[in-house]
Amino acid sequence: DAGVTQSPTHLIKTRGQQVTLRCSPKSGHDTVSWYQQALGQGPQFIFQYYEEEERQRGNFPDRFSGHQFPNYSSELNVNALLLGDSALYLCASSPPGFGYTFGSGTRLTVV
């Protein structure tokens, strides 16, 4: 049984560009959350999707947006990239009830 799958694993973008990161949740999980982890820091909660809607949002600007599809997979979009957006982006899925399974992340570098 595959766990949480994220793509791509690494990405290099230029300032001002837009990026889309993808996440496939673990089988049986219907909720997807996204986190940003800057180098040397703990992950910070970006937002959570459930039933194709954003259910909760952390302290991130509107440049960060997302989507959840009927098959529960999710995308994270970041517009107008800044150097400070360079980080590891983690996706976590959870089943109805309790528990979180994290993917290995997408490492985004903005140059």
Partner 1 sequence: AQKITQTQPGMFVQEKEAVTLDCTYDTSDQSYGLFWYKQPSSGEMIFLIYQGSYDEQNATEGRYSLNFQKARKSANLVISASQLGDSAMYFCAMREWAGGGADGLTFGKGTHLIIQP
Strand, coil or helix: what is 6?
A: strand
Nearer to partner 1, 11 or 102 (CB): 102
66 counts as binding partner 1 under rule CB under 8 A: no
Distances (CA, A) of 105 to 5, 16, 95, 97: 8, 22, 19, 23
Among the candidate windows 21-29, 61-69, 74-82, 97-105, which touches partner 1 by CB under 8 A? 97-105
**105 residue type, one letter:** G
Q: Which of 17, 63, 100, 111 binds partner 1 (CB under 8 A)?
A: 100
Among the candidate windows 11-19, 42-50, 68-76, 77-85, which touches partner 1 by CB under 8 A? 42-50
CB of 69 to partner 1, least distance (A): 19
Distances (CA, A) of 63 to 6, 34, 69, 72, 93: 20, 14, 20, 22, 22
Nearer to partner 1, 7 or 18 (CB): 7
